[in-house]
Chain A
Amino acid sequence: MSIPITLATARRILTQLRHDRRTVGMMVLVPTLVMALLYYVIGDQRSFNAWTPVLLCVFPFLVMFLVTSVATLRERTSGTLERLMASPLGKLDLLLGYGLAFGLMAAVQVALVLAVSLTWLGFELGGPVWPLVVVALGNALLGIALGLLCSAFARTEFQAVQFMPVVMIPQLLLGGILVPRDRMATVLEWISNVLPMSYAIEAMKLAVAGAGGDFWRDMAVVAGSAVLALVLGAATLRRRTP
């Protein structure tokens, strides 16, 4: 692993984004616009207060998963990955470069949506804001890591995009947003117990209440899952291919 190469990779990815203003605009603005839409659809401050943390939790994951899986798939199919694998770049340099660059984008995204929610939309939190920021960024990292991993199993951008509902919807259904996890059938609860998003959602609920209880344990599970996905992702990057 080399820090200069990791930083050069992150800078390169951000430069690529700079040439694609529309993508950047959508990454940064869409979550905020959806939040505003939700506010007017619900029209009731108390329900809005309950739903805002859910969106704050889901959006960074969703957007980062999509962007990362498509970006790394492009790297695999365009031949640049083969060129990089023949160079002194380490696999972790590449993965951390992606993590850094998209993590930065996620931070901008979360900052904007939180700022707008807390001011214009009148979102009220019982406690401090930072636990929600921690959950949102942890989720963004999880999305980046899973996106990197899933791109290894996609051959085309169509397939990569289809992985989003595959990875996302079961985790949301089983994560305890719609039905509390302890009220699900036992088998479903077991499955729910091994899905990282369940812990992210639990952490989000605790964050609203002031980050007590198992907040840090849940965040550790989310971070650990992200690291595991990154390591598995590194294993799918091969210097030699058939």
Chain B
Amino acid sequence: MERGRREVLHGVSFEVPRGMILGLLGPSGCGKTTLMRSVVGVQVVAGGTVTVLGEPAGGPGLRAKVGYSTQSPAVYDDLTVAENLAYFASVLGAPRGDVGRVLGEVGLGGAAGQVARTLSGGQRSRAGLAVALLGSPELLVLDEPTVGLDPVLRNELWELFHRLTAERGMTLMVSSHVMDEASRCDRLLLMREGEILADDSPGALRRRTGTDDLEKAFLRLVAERERAADGAERPGPGNGAGERP
């Protein structure tokens, strides 16, 4: 799969059951955004198939069912937060009352009348998240929704994410490059340079790598992958290719 002129994702394959929080973790530039754009259906996919809620990604039937917030929040700078939400609510066919509801959910009620240009970075990203929550999406694709937020707000948002899956049965796909958020996901995709290093629950990853710290777990997986790649290039005694568990 290519983004721009560079091949970004190579041989990525995974399935996500409904009703869980899937965390996409990895350093910036590893392909998280490209993967999320493919799921939403705004990415030109060079090869392979992406199926979302039983339909090809980006199909007309999915556009109101998939909530999406981009990394740099897609809000109109010259509209107030409430005006932004009111517009997206009409585009998505969401009821009028939704604007108040999502403002409360992301804790932006106090800034409803503020013009988006004057918002702080954290407020802006919450405004973008609020757009994704409008209507009743079945899948939420959130690209770095907690970037630039203080720990208290970050905690509140993660509580909201868990409520969305537990109470409303939504499926969430959340990207982050902060490893301490990984432990709050039900399942993790650890990515590096366009490949999936691991696809497992946080607990299983800790067990497999023998560490409690997910950051260390990630580093160990990277080292393991590099050893395997070296082995494939220069096969020697006791270092056969494809030995990865």
Contact = CB atoms under 8 A, between A and B. Distances in A.
Given A12-B83, A20-B78, A88-B60, A240 B42 contact: yes
A107 to B, nearest CB: 22
Interface stretch (A53-61, A78-86, A112-120): A78-86
Interface in A67-93: 78-80, 82-89
Q: Provide the main secondary structure of the chain B interface.
A: loop
Count chain B CB atoms within 10 A of each CB in A20, A86, A239 and give the residue with the most.
A86
Interface string B103-141: 000000000000100000000000000010000000000
Contacts of B45: 240
Nearest to A84: B91
B46 to A, nearest CB: 9
Contacts of A79: 70, 72-74
B76 A80 contact: yes
A201 to B, nearest CB: 35
A217 B143 CA distance: 52
A85 B43 CA distance: 11
B74 A241 contact: no
A26 B127 CA distance: 31
A5 interface: yes
B74 A88 contact: no
A180 interface: no
Contact of B4 (A4, A8, A12, A242): A242
Contacts of B64: 87-88
Nearest to B4: A242
Given A15-B83, A240-B41, A87 B88 contact: yes
Given A19-B79, A80-B75, A8 B41 contact: no
B40 interface: yes
A86 B90 contact: no
B19 interface: no
Q: For chain B, give the interface size range.
A: 20 to 34
Interface in A184-217: none
Contacts of A5: 90-91
Interface residues of A, number: 25
Interface string A1-44: 00011001101100110011000000000000000000000000
Given A86-B66, A88-B63, A241 B42 contact: yes
A62 B78 CA distance: 23
B137 to A, nearest CB: 11
Interface string B56-74: 0010100110101010111
Contacts of A4: 90
Kindly list the 10 A-B residue pairs having the minimum CB-CB distance in the complex, ordered from nearest. Answer: A83-B74, A8-B90, A79-B74, A12-B87, A88-B63, A240-B44, A80-B74, A19-B78, A16-B78, A89-B91
29 contacts: A5-B90, A8-B87, A8-B91, A12-B79, A12-B87, A15-B79, A16-B76, A19-B79, A80-B74, A80-B75, A80-B76, A82-B74, A83-B74, A83-B131, A84-B91, A86-B41, A86-B63, A87-B91, A88-B63, A88-B91, A88-B93, A89-B91, A239-B41, A239-B42, A239-B58, A240-B43, A241-B42, A241-B44, A242-B44
